[in-house]
Structure 1
C-alpha cells in the first residue's frame, strides 16, 4: 500500500530519542524520497497532510538497527570467496533477509586473509543495497595487524606488522580503498572507498604511526586482538582510535594496577589530560610468532588452527599471563625494562601535573571533572556467553554513551539465522557445529565455538542484563554506532532528512516490521 502524495504519518507510537528516552510522538516520512520529514515544515511548505496514516497502536518506532561487526549470516560467510557471482549473491541474501531482525544497516567484517585476497574482496564489499534490503556500509577489516597472543581464530601465518606505517596499510588493503570520501554513504557508485573500520593492535610495530592518518581519512580505528598496556591504549586513543573491538574478548583482562584496554572506559581525569604538546608515540616492537607448516586454501582459515582453537575468534585461544606491573602487553620482557616503562609513564604524568594540565579539584556534588580525553566507543557481544551479564552491566555503567551492541558472528558466521534449528550443521573445512539454543559447540567436543544471536535478541538481553530501559538499549544499536561511524545525519536517528530506515517493535522489544528507505520491507507473520 502506497500513499497517493508520498507522505506517511506514523501515529500512536513511541519514538526513541537520541538520549535514550521514549517519547509519544508522530513521525512523518516521504516514501518516494525515502527520508524522514520535519512535520511542521512539510505542512507549511507543501500545504499537505499525509495521505496515509499508520496506527502503531502504542508500539515503538525505532531507527533501523545498525550492526557494525557481523561476519556473515544465512549460510554466507563474508570471509570466504569462491567466485564473484556467488559472493554477490551471498551479500544480497544477507542484506535482504537480515531485515527480519530489525537491522537496516550493517558493516560486513572480514577476518584476517592472505594478503593476495584483499583486493578481490574489497572490490566486492563496497556500499550496497537493493530496494528491499539493508544497506551494506562498506567493510570492517579485522586484521591482519593483530597480536598473535590474542589472535583468536585468525590464521597466524597471515598476521602482519606495519613497518612502514600507513604505507603498509595501503599496500595490504589497496590505497584506493583507504581514500577519504565524505559522501561515501550516499554515492553507491562503485567508486566509493570500502574500508570504514579497521581493527588492529596498536602495540604491533608501525600500527601506532598509522592511526592519525587513517582517522583523517574517515576510517574508524578500533583497538582489538591486542595485549597493549594502559599507556599504549591511551596513546592510541590520543592518536585517534575511536573504538574497542568486542570488549573483554581477545584482550588482557582488567587488572587493578594496569587495567589495559578495558581501563579506557574509566579514563580518570587525573591521568587523561593531554600531555602538551602531544609527543610522538612509536610502539615497542611486539613479539610476533609465526607458525610455519600450516597449509590450506587461500580463502579458508586452516583446519589445523581450527582444531587447535576450536572456538570463536573473539575468545582467547592462547593462554597469556595475567597483566601485572611487569607485563606490559607489548611483549614478555624483563622486569627491569618494564619497570623502566612504568617509571617513564609516571614521569610523564608528573610533568603533566607540574604544567597544570591535570583537572582541578572542585566542590560541586555530582559534577564530573572536565576531560580533554574522549573515551572510545566499545562493541559488546550481548549473548551471555562471550561476556557475563555482570560484565556487560559494569561496562555500560562506566561509559553508557560509548556502548555499541554487535552480533559479531565469530566462528558461527554463516550460521547466524533465527530460523536455524538446533542440531548438527556444516561449517567449513569439514568441520561441523552442534547448535544448542544460542550456543555452538565443535562436533565431538564440549568446546564452546561461539554463539548465534541476532541483534534484536541482543538488545533485549542488554536491557535485561543492565537494567536500562528499552529505549536506552535501542540507542546502543542505532544512534551510538551511527555516531561512531559519522553517519548519524543519515542513519541511526529519526532526524529530518535522515533515511527512513525504521524498525517497529512491541513493548517487549520483538520486531514487528522493518521499513527500508520509506518502504515496508518485512512484516512479522507475513
Structure 2
C-alpha cells in the first residue's frame, strides 16, 4: 500500500482496489470519501459539483476495500464482559472503550454488545450504559442486545435458571424488566441518546422464546417501537416460530444452537429458512405439540401439555444418551422429540394458480428471517453451515458470540470467568473447566469470514456480505453501515485476497494497520 498526500481538501481517493457490492460481487473501482465528514462520496457528482479532485490518493495494491464488519452478537472481548457490572460506571465505560479500541484489529468497525440473562433489577442500568457511543479511534458501539431473560428453561444454555422469566403481564412484564425508557418509541429513544456522543444510530435487540407465556403478545409492539426481536433459546414449533415472524420477529439467534434440531415432520425454528411463501400455518397452539408414542390406533390422544409441563418433561429426560461434546443446544437435557401428534393444519396462501415457467419465482407472501451463525467450525459443522446458506443466502449473518477471552494475542489455558467458574481456551474452542460443555466462542470475525468461504464454497465477496450488508440490513441501518453507498459512513476494512485484515478505518480515519511502512 502506498500513500501520497498534499495539502488536503478533505477528499481522499482509494484506488487499485476491489470493492464488495451488495450482491456479493467484487468490482475493480476507485472509491472517494470525505475524511473531514467521515462519509463515502459519489465521485462523479462530487467532481462536477465541487470541481475538485481528491488531494490524497491511497493505492491499495489490488487489495479488497470492504465495508467494516458488524458483529451483532458479542458477549465481551479483551478481558471485558458486557454482562458484569460492579457498580462502578467509570470502570464499565473504560471496559467498553478497551473493547472498541482493540477489536478493530479483527476488521470489526461496529458492534452490538450483548448481555445475557441478569437479575431483572440490573437491566435498566446496564442498558443505559450501553447506549450508542463512538469512542475516538475505535469501533462504533451501536446499542444493546438483551439475550434474555424471557427464554425457555429447557434451552437456557449458560443463562442462570433463577433469572429466567415468563411475561404473564405481557407488555408490562417487558417494561418492568428493561425499563420503560429503554423500550420507548424509536424516535423518542434516539432523541434521548443523542444528548451523549453517539454514532447517530440506536440499535436495540431482544432475544426471546416466542412460546413463553406472554412473549408472542409483545413482538408486534416491540417491532413498532424499533426493537429488533430475535427468536432464540426456544423449543418453538414451526407454527409458533412462523407466527412470531409474521408478528415482526426478524432474526434467529445463533442458528442450530439452543433450539430443537431439524425434524422432517416439524422442522421447528430451523425450518424457517426453508419456509414456503404460499403455505401458511393455521392458528397455532399455545405450546409446541409433543408426541405420544406406544398408543394403539384406537387410543384417545391426550391434549397438548401446558408450557410448564412440557418443560418439566424435557428436563426429566435423564435417560437420554449422553453426548460427548455439548453446547448450548445440548447442555440441558435432550432435544425434545419433534414428531407432533397434534399437528396444526396448513392452508394454501392466496396463490390462485401454478406457474409453468422454469426459474419463475412467485411473489413472496412470507419474508424469511435473518439468522446468526457462529462459524468457528465447532458450534456448527461446516456441512450445517453450507446447508443453511444454501437454503437462505440473503438471510445469513455471521456472528462471533464471543466471550471476554476473545483476544488474538491471548494464550491458551485456564481463565477466570464468573461465579467462581473458569473457562479453558484451546485455540478457538472454549469450554467450562472440568466439563466438555462449550461456553461461547473466541473466534474473531475475520476468521469467521474466511471459514465461511471455505465451508460453503462461496466467493470471498459473498462471505464479506454476510458480515457487512446482511447484518446492517437486519438492523435496518444499511443506508449508513455495511455498505459502500454514497452517503454511508466511511467505515472500512482493507483485506488481502486471502481475507486477512491489512488495515481498519472508522469514519475515514485509519485506526489500525498491520503494515509498518504506512
Per the normalisation by structure 1, the TM-score is: 0.86
SS of match in other structure, 1:451: coil
Is residue 183 of structure 2 the alignment partner of residue 178 of structure 1? yes
Structure-to-structure mapping, 1:242-253, within 5 angstroms: 242-253=250-261
Structure-to-structure mapping, 1:101-250, within 5 angstroms: 101-182=106-187, 188-190=194-196, 196-250=204-258
What's the counterpart of residue 509 of structure 1? Answer: 499
Q: CA deviation at 1:314?
A: 3.4
What's the counterpart of residue 404 of structure 1? Answer: 397
Q: Does 179-188 or 415-424 show the bigger shift?
A: 179-188
Structure-to-structure mapping, 1:88-103, within 5 angstroms: 88-103=93-108
Deviations 1:405-464 (A, max 9, x none): 00002xxx1100111112222223333233221112333444443431000000000000
Q: Does 487-496 or 177-186 show the bigger shift?
A: 177-186
Distance 1:359 1:509, change over 3 A: farther
Structure-to-structure mapping, 1:94-493, within 5 angstroms: 94-182=99-187, 188-190=194-196, 196-272=204-280, 286-287=307-308, 314-326=328-340, 338-339=341-342, 342=343, 345-346=344-345, 349-350=346-347, 353=348, 357-358=350-351, 360-409=353-402, 413-493=403-483
SS of match in other structure, 1:397: helix
Match for residue 45 of structure 1 among 38, 43, 49: 49
Does structure 2 retain, via aligned residues, the 8 Å contact 1:128–1:188? no
Deviations 1:484-503 (A, max 9, x none): 10101110000111100010
SS of match in other structure, 1:456: helix
Distance 1:404 1:2, change over 3 A: farther
Deviations 1:11-43 (A, max 9, x none): 000000000000000000000000000001111
Does structure 2 retain, via aligned residues, the 8 Å contact 1:14–1:58? yes
Deviations 1:284-316 (A, max 9, x none): 85228999xxxxxxxxxxxxxxxxx99997343
SS of match in other structure, 1:120: helix
Match for residue 70 of structure 2 among 43, 66, 79: 66
Aligned length: 481
Distance 1:72 1:219, change over 3 A: same
CA distance in 2: counterparts of 1:216 and 1:323, whole angstroms: 35
Deviations 1:230-274 (A, max 9, x none): 0100110111111000000000000000000000000023414x8
Match for residue 32 of structure 1 among 29, 36, 39: 36
CA distance in 2: counterparts of 1:226 and 1:290, whole angstroms: 11
CA distance in 2: counterparts of 1:248 and 1:448, whole angstroms: 14
Does structure 2 retain, via aligned residues, the 8 Å contact 1:147–1:288? no
Match for residue 78 of structure 1 among 64, 72, 82: 82
Q: Does 161-170 or 221-230 show the bigger shift?
A: 161-170
Q: CA deviation at 1:45?
A: 0.7
SS of match in other structure, 2:338: coil
Does structure 2 retain, via aligned residues, the 8 Å contact 1:178–1:195? no
CA distance in 2: counterparts of 1:380 and 1:280, whole angstroms: 27
Taking only aligned residues, the RMSD between alpha carbons, in angstroms, comes to: 2.5
CA distance in 2: counterparts of 1:70 and 1:142, whole angstroms: 10
Does structure 2 retain, via aligned residues, the 8 Å contact 1:206–1:283? no
SS of match in other structure, 1:246: coil
Q: CA deviation at 1:122?
A: 1.3
Q: Does 184-193 or 421-430 show the bigger shift?
A: 184-193
CA distance in 1: counterparts of 2:326 and 2:512, whole angstroms: 31
CA distance in 2: counterparts of 1:4 and 1:434, whole angstroms: 50
Per the normalisation by structure 2, the TM-score is: 0.88
CA distance in 2: counterparts of 1:251 and 1:311, whole angstroms: 16
Match for residue 6 of structure 1 among 5, 10, 25: 10
